[in-house]
Amino acid sequence: MRLLRIGILATSAVLLSMPLSAAEVGVTSFQTDAPFAEVVADLEDAVVNRGYVIDYHGHIGDMLARTAADVPGSKPLYKAAEILQFCSATMSRQAMEADIGNIAYCPYVLFVYEPAKEPGKVTLGFRRLPAGDGRDEINTLLEKITREAAGL
C-alpha cells in the first residue's frame, strides 16, 4: 500500500510540473484575415464603446523584437503582438463579493497577434476565467468583445 501511495504521489508531482498549453488553461481565441492594425483598433473600440477604460496597452511583439539579441531564443515569433488590459468595477466587485480571491483575475487581458511565419493570419482572444463565483459574466463579456473585434 505504501508503494502505491508513493507511486501516486510521484505521478501527481510529474503531472503538476508539466507545462500546460494555451488550450489546456482555457484560452479562447478567434482568427481573422483582417489587417492587424484594424483588429487592434476594433478590439479597442469594442472595449471603449462599452464604457470601459483601457488601463494598459502592451506592445509585446515590439518588446520581443527589441530584446531578441539579448536573450536566448532569438527567432522571430510575431510580425506584431499586443495586449490590452482593462477592468469593470461592477463585474469585478460582483466577482470579488462572491470570492475575494477573484482579485487574481483583475484586470482582464485581451491579446492579438500576427505570427511571423503566417503573415495575414491574425489571432485575438482572452484567457478564460474558471467558471462560477461571478466569473461567468466576465467570460461572456470578454467573448463578446473579442468576437465583435474578429467580425463574428
Mean of the per-residue pLDDT values for the chain?
86
Strand partners, 78: 115
Q: What is the pLDDT at residue 70?
A: 87
DSSP class per residue in 70-137? GSS--S--EEEEEEEEE--HHHHHHHHHH-GGGGGG-SEEEEEEEETTSTT-EEEEEEPPPSSTT-HH
- Selected residue with higher pLDDT from 69 and 117: 117
**Who has greater pLDDT, 75 or 92?**
92
Give 68's pLDDT tier (boundaries 50, 70, 90).
confident
pLDDT number for residue 25: 59
How is residue 107 written as a grid cell?
484586470
Cell of 64: 520581443
pTM of the model: 0.81
For domain 20-150, give the CATH superfamily.
TT1751-like domain (3.30.310.70)
Mean predicted confidence (pLDDT) in 23-41: 89
Residue 59 has pLDDT above 60, yes or no: yes
Mean pLDDT of the 90-107 span: 94
